[in-house]
Amino acid sequence: MLKIRLSRHGRKNLPFYRIVLSEHSKPVKTGYKEVLWRFDPIKHEIKVELDIIKKWIEKWAKPSERLAKLLFINTKDKLFEKFFKHTQRHWKTKKEKKE
């Protein structure tokens, strides 16, 4: 099965991520078939061609949960929303924990 996921590169404290297409059983850093685009977490910018990613999703590739969240946040496209779980954390205050 093909996965679209993030591959970390760069040096210590200055990372950047490549958005890669790879077989799910291959290692992330070396076993990819194609580099699609990149993500810079320091500048909070994602450079991506949505047409290419949508083409691969139509060909049965699945994006990772983290990548799907990043793409959904930046594009608000409902296609990426179905690839991650909606989790809501209900934080309890100290008073509620005691009760």
pTM of the model: 0.77
Q: Is residue 64 part of a domain?
A: yes
- Structural domain containing residue 51: 2-85
Q: Is residue 90 part of a domain?
A: no
The partner residues of 3 in beta bridges, in order of sequence, read: 22, 62
Query: pLDDT per residue over 32-87, tens digit each?
Result: 888 888 899 998 888 888 899 999 999 999 999 999 988 998 888 889 988 887 66
Give me the amino acid identity at 26: K
Looking at the structure of the chain, the number of domains it has is 1
pLDDT at 95 over 60: no
Q: Is residue 68 part of a domain?
A: yes
pLDDT at 11 over 90: yes
Q: Is residue 94 part of a domain?
A: no
pLDDT at 92 over 70: no
CATH code of the domain in which 48 resides = 3.30.1320.10
- Cβ–Cβ < 8 Å for 6, 67: yes
CA distance 24 to 32: 9
